[in-house]
Structure 1
């Protein structure tokens, strides 16, 4: 006899076991040390910055935008699998309790991330509005919980909508509503505006309920597509640290960037892997985006941190993270047999990846050095160029080399 509760327990247990196994590999010694340093340094400079908070800083807008983004992103994790379209379809009328548990599981998982954002922004709020006290933060916490439930419900109803443009429009509308409700509430003296925005939000919520409550049945293909996209995003993150056999590779054209990265590669047999790794870096949906995100975060910290030496340390940290996470390029084509048919020794392949990692790390060092010139002085720019260059050479020719040699023997 079909039991929706038992099915959910099995799916949740398997999901936690799968993600937990990769999380242990992601948070290895290197990343754990980098995160510990990052959090400690961020907390220290955050406190220093709050003590000298600029007058007129738009606290309400910053908190509204950050928390609004966390509220708007409200996917419902169902843990469904592709085969469910066949085996669970006859039991669709018995799946209500399963989907209810999936909804609350999604709520508590996202509430955790929302709480982290709330905790990080609370000192900023109390510094800007010390006369309001903790009571306002408690009110804000209640509002965030209510808004998160509303956003999750609307996201769940919209899983019956197949028009992607309509779903994007809904996300934009909810983002605007979330931001303005929070912004006016945080100002404290705009009760009329808060009431108006709340009425609009409730009206939009009731209208969505009226439209989608009439649509019967479960959009199995949409639920499975969303669940698979969520798992693939997690697998792409884990693939930067270990081999993930479940990962589905995706490629994007990016013709202009491909030409920029490959036009300098000579048309020679020995440069086969040099060309392969460059084009993989650009066209893959993982590596280039990760590289750019780390670069932008590094720029933020270089401008935000007042201490010169910590600027240099953070720049080196993000140079290291870029090189460390790009080591996974070695296994990107592991499932493609024709890579092993190239008439080239594995030593050439290893050296090509080392040279490419050295290239991208030195390129980031150079650009961050220019940023350091604008944020500090030309002396710090030269220091970063020298120290970053020496670190890159040492990292690639010691740690990366030994790690790739071990992988060659596996």
Structure 2
């Protein structure tokens, strides 16, 4: 294995196949259905807001802030494995060829998120801020350059410091990125040049320090493992990932929730399902995230019909994913040793989902009450959340 370019090629093919294997489950029919509604609702809300947005809206600051957040998150994709810290040592002088390919893939795989945000920002910049076609083109080119700078800087920083204080580095890069984008949009080119010089100095400082230390294999291997584990945990919401095990947490403050399953033999499965849901981080935080998004949508989406579509789609996604997760586990459980009705667990899962979706609907109602909009359509939003949840429970095959 003397050719590191060949090593990268083989690992890259395996990595792409691994992504495709799980993405076909993630981007399945029901998720595509949810995405269509969510994107449609968001697009409609955005277009309607543009028609009523105030002329003094700080478009430059908002666009610079959001894009800078995306540009600053530039974790390198190295595809390194545990054994590389040993087997790559004889080839350390040739490691630059491998890392060059890794950083190239990092750039092309991560730039699309920033470009998507850039495309979304174009109507805001042209209609509210009055940006011209040429200014948009220059802005696009600068975004491409800044993403490259951000990736190179984070990589050099991680190498020089073994990843210690990475959030401090991201904060510094974020400030420089915000300043660069804002000065570009506001046509303050003198300040833009100054910021560009500071960015070049910041990159060169860490590039120089990088040469003073050996390549930190352990750190980049850990970064790669953490990155892939996040993907596997996300994929685990949609299908079984064999080599992943969900983390658990006690959550003593939710013990009162178990009183909904009184101490009786017929409630055995309900109690077990409740404990599984509450203590398993993947399931519990999935529900928390989707519930939070539903509340945010109910509060900030100004059009009731769009809010109904948005929260209804999230309710559908919540039920589908949690039901699949709770019923598809193949791990051994003690209750399998006893002659329990096979339908008992399914009934328990359905009952649990009705409870937690009722709570989700209550949170949405609370958000609407805080917003202070008491129209009939807005009051229907939490009702729709529960109705969609119930219909999904009854119509889902599993």
User: What TM-score comes out, normalization by structure 2 length?
Assistant: 0.90
Give 1:249's match in structure 2, choosing from 246, 271, 275: 246
SS in 2 for 1:286: helix
Following TM superposition, by how much is the alpha carbon of 1:368 offset from its aligned partner in structure 2, in angstroms?
1.3
RMSD after superposition: 2.6
Corresponding residue for 1:211?
Answer: 209
Q: State the alpha-carbon separation in 1 of the partners of residues 16 and 169 from structure 2.
A: 31
Equivalent-residue separation in structure 1 for 2:378 and 2:163 (angstroms) = 46
Contact 2:37–2:309 (CA<8 Å) still a contact in 1? no
Q: What's the CA shift string for 1:65-102, capped at 9, x where partnerless?
A: 21111111101111122233343333333332111101
SS state at 2:281 partner: coil
Q: Aligned-pair distance for 1:247?
A: 1.9
Residue 254 of structure 1: how far off its partner (Å): 4.1
Q: 330, 353, 363: which one pairs with 2:349?
A: 353
Residues 370 and 381 in structure 1, CA contact (< 8 A), matched pair in contact too: no
Give the 3 Å change call, closer, same or farther, for CA 164–78 of structure 1 in structure 2. Answer: closer
Between stretches 66-75 and 245-254, larger displacement belongs to 245-254
Aligned residue number for residue 289 of structure 2: 293
Residue number in structure 1 paired with 2:308: 312
* Distance in 1 separating the partners of 2:85 and 2:257: 43
Query: Which stretches in structure 1 are left out of the alignment for 5+ residues?
Result: 404-410
TM-score (structure 1 length as normaliser): 0.87
The Cα of 1:163 is off from its aligned counterpart by 6.6
Deviation at 1:339, TM superposition (A): 5.7
Structure 1's 301 and 275: CA in aligned 2 closer, same or farther, altered over 3 A?
A: same
CA drift at 1:331:
5.4
The more displaced of 160-169 and 101-110 is 160-169
2:219 to 211, 217, 222: 222
Higher relative contact order (CA 8 A, sep 6+): 2
User: Is the contact between residue 304 and residue 378 of structure 2 (CA under 8 Å) also seen in structure 1?
Assistant: no
Which deviates the most, 293-302 or 42-51?
Answer: 293-302
Which of 320, 324, 332 does residue 324 from structure 1 map onto? 320
Q: 1:89 to 1:319 in 2, by over 3 A?
A: same
Correspondence for 1:396: 393
The 10-residue stretch of structure 1 (378-387 or 105-114) with the greater mean CA deviation from structure 2: 378-387
Count of residue pairs brought into register by the alignment: 397
- 1:170 maps to 169
Task: Determine if contact 1:369/1:385 at 8 Å carries over to the other structure.
Answer: yes
Q: Is the 8 A contact 1:67 1:114 kept in 2?
A: yes
Tell me if structure 2 keeps the 8 A contact 1:154–1:208: yes
Q: 1:92 to 1:390 in 2, by over 3 A?
A: same
Is residue 15 from structure 1 mapped to residue 11 from structure 2 by the alignment?
no
SS at match of 2:331: coil
**Separation of aligned partners in 1, 2:156 and 2:339:** 55
Distance 1:192 1:46, change over 3 A: same
Equivalent in the alignment of 2:381: 384
Cα-to-partner distance string for 1:374-401 (whole Å, 9 max, x where unaligned): 36325335433444333333322342xx
2:118 aligned residue = 118
Q: Which runs of 5+ in 2 are unaligned?
A: none
Kept after mapping to 2: 8 A contact 1:232/1:248? no
**Corresponding residue number in structure 1 for 2:274:** 278
What residue in structure 2 maps to residue 139 of structure 1? 138
What is the CA deviation profile of residues 210-259 of structure 1, one whole-angstrom value per residue up to 9, with x for unaligned ones? Answer: 2222112x222222211111111111111111111122322345443x33
SS at 1:149's partner residue? Answer: helix
**Correspondences of 1:145-160 after superposition (within 5 Å):** 145-160=144-159
In the alignment, what sits opposite 1:109?
109
Q: Deviation string for 1:102-142 (max 9, x for gaps)?
A: 11001000111111111111111111222x31211222222
Residue in structure 1 matched with residue 185 of structure 2 by the alignment: 186
Q: Deviations over 1:291-325 (max 9, x none)?
A: 23323333343344443222222221111111112
Query: For the Cα contact (< 8 Å) 2:41–2:309, is it kept in 1?
Result: no
Counterpart of 1:27 in structure 2 is 27
